[in-house]
Amino acid sequence: MSIHPVTVQHVTVQPVTVPHVSIEPSILYFGTPVVLLSTENPDGSANLAPMSSAWALGRTIVLGIGRAGQTARNLAERPELVINLPAPHQWEAVESLAPLTGRDPVPAGKPDGCRFEPDKFGAAGLHAVPSDGVRPPRVAECPLQFEATAVSVRADASGSFVIAEAVVSKVHADPRLVVPGTNHVDPGAWSPLIYNFRHYFGLGPELGHSYRSQTPPGSVVGVGQETPEAALVVEERAAGAVHGGLGDQADDEDVVADRDPVVGQADQVR
Ligand SMILES: Cc1cc2nc3c(=O)[nH]c(=O)nc-3n(C[C@H](O)[C@H](O)[C@H](O)COP(=O)(O)O)c2cc1C
């Protein structure tokens, strides 16, 4: 085997010290954030389902959802939803939802052990709070909550999933995650829950930032401290808050405030 560097279209590929092996993994879930989708059931109650096939494209969240589940059915009929983002310490609540479906009877194709559960919020020990502009409720305990409407729900190429494009109309953020006086989420305070080959992780320490970041390290706490409200948030953050994720205080409903940050145009393209 060659150990010399090779140049492919002006990119120099360094030799690897350990040769790769060809494998056939049963899953390809290489580590994406977990969201909890609240949707509306036909009887007006709320369904709640964990999904890790979720990513942002400007103001749109693209979702990959199993076609046989209740979430896909709900979105096809009633397109409003909330994309709730749990923090790493909430992984057990997320996992408690894993074997549950809002569909009765349980459809063929669901994994063994899957059962119908009409009250998924209760089953996970989570609390529903009303949304401002959509019918499904938000998950009070989730530090970030995006109200959205699915403008497109279509079958994927395999026929097993639907791909939903959900346009976000309102963002609710725990104030401890917001750079005081701005609409920016502080990347040093927020960590998503990551689903990594069916295991749960948070983020490790920061490695660097994009040249387009509007919250470079060292500038995040202090921006906008001139307002009394911002100063209070900074004080609170200094007193109990966290670097690298929220602690148990994230379970306190009182701290989930509606700040309605509006993402600026400049944030919309990565
Ligand atoms: C962490 C986690 C991530 C998941 N990601 C997805 C996903 O991206 N797409 C999907 O269809 N199901 C995913 N699931 C499985 C669904 O949550 C599961 O099928 C659930 O029963 C759907 O509920 P529903 O039938 O009420 O919609 C995930 C489950 C867990 C625990």
Answer whether residue 15 is part of any domain: no
- In angstroms, the CA 191 to CA 168 distance is 20
Answer whether residue 110 is part of any domain: yes
What is the pLDDT at residue 257? Answer: 35
Domain housing 91: 25-205+213-260
The helix/strand/coil state of 79 is coil
| Ligand 1 pocket residue status of 71, Cβ below 6 Å | yes
Of 87, 203, 83, the residue nearest 143 (C-alpha): 87
Answer whether residue 18 is part of any domain: no
What is the pLDDT at residue 237? Answer: 52
Answer whether residue 191 is part of any domain: yes
| Ligand 1 pocket residue status of 51, Cβ below 6 Å | yes
| Ligand 1 pocket residue status of 136, Cβ below 6 Å | no
What is the pLDDT at residue 109? Answer: 86
Assign residue 111 the CATH number of its domain. Answer: 2.30.110.10
Answer whether residue 2 is part of any domain: no
| Ligand 1 pocket residue status of 53, Cβ below 6 Å | yes
Tally of domains in the chain:
1
Answer whether residue 97 is part of any domain: yes
Query: How high is the mean pLDDT in each 10-residue block of the chain (270 residues)?
Result: 55 77 95 98 98 97 97 98 98 98 94 96 98 98 98 97 98 97 96 97 93 75 43 50 40 34 42
Beta bridge partners of 153: 164
Strands (DSSP E) found in the chain = 6-8, 11-13, 30-33, 35-40, 46-51, 54-57, 60-66, 80-85, 100-101, 115-116, 128-129, 138-139, 144-155, 161-173, 194-196, 199-201
CB of 217 closer than 8 Å to CB of 188: yes
What is the pLDDT at residue 4? Answer: 57
Answer whether residue 121 is part of any domain: yes
pTM > 0.85: yes or no: no
Ligand 1 atom closest to 200 (CA): 1
What is the pLDDT at residue 226? Answer: 40
Answer whether residue 4 is part of any domain: no
Residue 98 Cα, ligand 1 centroid: separation in angstroms? 6
Residue 53 Cα, ligand 1 centroid: separation in angstroms? 9
What is the pLDDT at residue 119? Answer: 98
